[in-house]
Amino acid sequence: MKLIITYIRPECLTPVKQALYAKGIYSMSVTNILGSGRGAGFTETYRGVVMEVNLLKKVRIEIGLDEAKLEGALDAIKTGAQTGKEGDGVIFVQDLNRTIRIRTGEESL
């Protein structure tokens, strides 16, 4: 099994979900977060005061799935999240050594 962790722009969440649903992937966890990546942020003037904006709003999506569905999920995320601008996000893929379904006790190694 694999764990996909991806950070994307909040406005890209709906297209990413639709692309995942089209591939038959429905199980995911979504969290609103603040973070900074390669971009150092930007400065902005608000009521005459210069402010540094270092932490930007992002969405974190976590998906645990079988290796057979991995490439489809990655394609769906890339298709839904790509705007061509800096800050589109990043995808991490990790191995899951063991998973346990709480309701049934079913385990997969």
pLDDT per residue over 7-65, tens digit each?
999 999 999 999 999 999 999 999 999 888 776 666 778 788 887 777 889 999 999 99
pLDDT at 32: 97
Single-letter code of the amino acid located at 90: V
What pLDDT is attached to residue 90?
96
Confidence at residue 86, expressed as pLDDT on a 0 to 100 scale: 85
What is the C-alpha to C-alpha distance for residues 97 and 64, in angstroms, rounded to an integer?
A: 11
Domains and CATH numbers, the chain: 2-108 (3.30.70.120)
pLDDT surpassing 90 at residue 4: yes
State pLDDT tens for residues 72-104.
999 999 999 999 988 899 999 999 999 999 999
Name the packing angle between helices 13-22 and 70-81 (round to 10°).
150
DSSP lists the bridge partners of residue 35 as 56
